[in-house]
Amino acid sequence: MKIIWTREALNNILEIENYIFQDNLSKAIEFTDFLIDKCEYLINNPEIGRVVPELSDPQIRELIVKNYRIVYRHIDEEIQILTVFEGHLRLPLDY
């Protein structure tokens, strides 16, 4: 099983890190590493996330981590991290 990051998800992680960086560099790195570690956990536990309510597609799931939603797709031996965004927002329906 391997993790594949979409460009959008990587950009989101960088935006989160840059936002936190404005206040605290070490916390920015620590938090984004924490988010990435949570994604790595999916390698052995791909079904742990809940089905995304906006989509109701069993292949597209999400992890809620702190105030963020990590949306991913599990296909065969691949976990695709689709996006990472603030938990109070709705998922754009273009997945």
Cα–Cα distances (Å) from 29 to 34, 36, 70, in that order, read: 8, 11, 17
Residue 70 and residue 13: Cα distance in Å, rounded?
10
| Whole-number pLDDT of residue 95 | 54
The answer to pTM > 0.85 is: yes
Complete domains list, the chain, with CATH: 2-86 (3.30.2310.20)
- Running along the chain, 95 residues long, what does each successive block of 10 average in pLDDT? 96 95 93 95 94 91 95 95 83 61
| Whole-number pLDDT of residue 56 | 86
| Whole-number pLDDT of residue 40 | 94
